Structure 1
Amino acid sequence: MRLENQVAFITGAASGIGRAIADRFAREGAKIVVADLNQATADKAAAEIEAAGGKAMGIAVDVSNEEQVEAAVAAAVDRFGTVDILISNAGIQIVKPVDEFSFADWKKMLAVHLDGAFLTTRACLKPMYAQNRGCIIYMGSVHSHEASKLKAPYVTAKHGLMGLCKVVAKEGAAHNVRANVVCPGYVLTPLVEKQIPEQAKTLGISEEAVVRDVMLRETVDGQFTTEADIAEVALLFASFDSNALTGQSLIASHGWFMN
């Protein structure tokens, strides 16, 4: 097993992409910290992972809250001894044109995506540096390289993760800590499903047109990327053994964006 006895701290791991990564990593022998906003859903996901033969614990954490992040990582270290892998995955989405975005919503988006990535990174680097080993994976997006209408703070945050990743890769190298970004295309998670009627209303088109002409128009085959696809890319980064693969981004989007 490629991740045997490694401890993976995964934010937003109770559902969607985070849960798919948690399940995949557990099958590879990792001990999973299901870090999510709600304790009950985190505990439920952890229990299901354990019922399938894995090892897991649930932790409630608001990734934009400094004290909660520090406490959550400390609890993970207390339970499992360390943190070897951080998956910074927690995210939210609000879609509006720039001229209609409230400053409060702008700050909320950046707090979850960027502040959350910074706070969890800083907290997890402590045990990683102490053991001279670690891997940080940020959940970016095609929007780390590209832009779409109605998503100003999301696109801004996903671009920002690229910069954070590169700095962490350079600083972490002396401690054998790698940092990379996974960049999914549209994955049919609850977050994306919620956007379909919202974009249809804002753009004045049907929901079918949002999927066909907005979300999947630039793909090579008109297909959504799957949660399993992204879990495999994350596993590649997590299981890579050297600093040859650090400070990089890998796009999985059915060809929507090509580097």
Structure 2
Amino acid sequence: MSESGRNAYITGGASGIGRAVAQMLIDKGAKVFIADCDLKGAEAFAAELNKNGRVAFASQVDVMDWEQQLSAFKQAVDEFGRIDYVYPIAGIGERAWLPNDPKAKEFVKPDLTVLDADLTGVLWTVSLALQQFRRQEKSKHGFRGKIGCVASVCGFYCVPSLPIYTAAKHAVNGFVRSYGKYLPEEGITMNAVSPNVIRTNISTGAFYDSLDEQGLLTPMDGLIKAFESMLGSSDVSGEIFEVPPKGSYKIRAAPEYLDEPSERLCQLLERRSHHLHEPK
């Protein structure tokens, strides 16, 4: 399927998953705007993509800084006019959020940088996408725009030593599963891809090598196939695509309701709050 004439905005697009998504879109004929904290890396990748014509643009952005996010997104709008796809991919791995020091005399403020990058940063990117999409006419496929988030295997399962990263990814999954079911009313879709472990810059080469030796490393092409399935005329929204080490991606169903009253209650809550998202 050709994506000629389509434009995409990607955070974390200079490396890892973001880079692979950008390359996939370029190969299909789209243009991309690469927003990354590594400006040199983003510019070098854009230059590589532009060897046969201007199809890629780059800007520096720290997704934890709203003003930087706003500035980069405005640049993309200025370059493209219309943006069809937005991918909030930039993120970081777990770090020590609270010192374990029984001898400490004072209380310390916890380090919630992982939440700032992997949750708040994602929500900021999504908010920019939605505001732009709502100003655009629908495409020939009937959409104003599409959002593809990245969650994680930690968005399904619980890893005891990764509490903040796990909390962030569970939150991303919950956000996509809820808001992603509303957005089609506005001609917008939003899904998330949750890979097991992909070789990126989040961890060390030695760790990835050990997983690869055990057959536990998820290949990038499996992840990209999940993203490809959301392009063009796909009306899938509010879904989480898990990508395992072996085999193809699979859409994971949300947890079942405990019983009929629980399901009915959630339906009533949805109706009660629907007005919060309606056009003014």
TM-score range relative to shorter protein: 0.7 to 0.9
Selected match of 1:112 from 113, 117, 134: 117
Answering whether residue 133 of structure 2 is matched by residue 128 of structure 1, we say yes
The runs of 5 or more residues in structure 2 that have no matched partner are 102-107, 139-143, 253-280
Q: Distance in 2 between matches of 1:224 and 1:150?
A: 19
Greater RCO structure (CA 8 Å; 6+ sep): 1
Which residue pairs with 2:273 in the alignment?
none
Which residue pairs with 1:228 in the alignment?
221
Which residue pairs with 2:240 in the alignment?
249
Selected match of 2:230 from 221, 237, 242: 237
SS at match of 1:181: strand
Q: Distance in 2 between matches of 1:92 and 1:52?
A: 33
* Length, aligned pairs only: 238
Q: Distance in 1 between matches of 2:206 and 2:130?
A: 34
Deviation at 1:81, TM superposition (A): 0.8
Residue pairs, 1:61-210, within 5 angstroms? 61-95=61-95, 100=100, 104-105=110-111, 107-131=112-136, 132=138, 133-193=144-204, 196=207, 208=210
Q: Distance in 2 between matches of 1:153 and 1:194?
A: 23
Which residue pairs with 1:202 in the alignment?
none
SS at match of 1:34: strand
**Greater Rg by CA:** 2
Would you tell me which structure has more helix in proportion to its own residues?
A: 1
Deviation at 1:165, TM superposition (A): 1.2
Q: Determine if contact 1:34/1:59 at 8 Å carries over to the other structure.
A: yes
SS at match of 2:203: helix
| Aligned AA (1:138) | C
After superposition, the C-alpha distances for 1:191-241 in whole angstroms (9 at most, x for unaligned) are 2326839xxxxxxxxx84xx38xx96xxxxx241122221221111133x1
Moved more, 159-168 or 110-119: 159-168
SS at match of 1:156: helix
SS at match of 2:24: helix
Residue 53 and residue 147 in structure 1: after superposition, are their counterparts in 2 closer, same or farther (change >3 A)?
A: farther
Residue 3 and residue 172 in structure 1: after superposition, are their counterparts in 2 closer, same or farther (change >3 A)?
A: same
CA RMSD of superposed structures (Å): 2.7
Deviation at 1:145, TM superposition (A): 0.6
Deviation at 1:95, TM superposition (A): 4.7
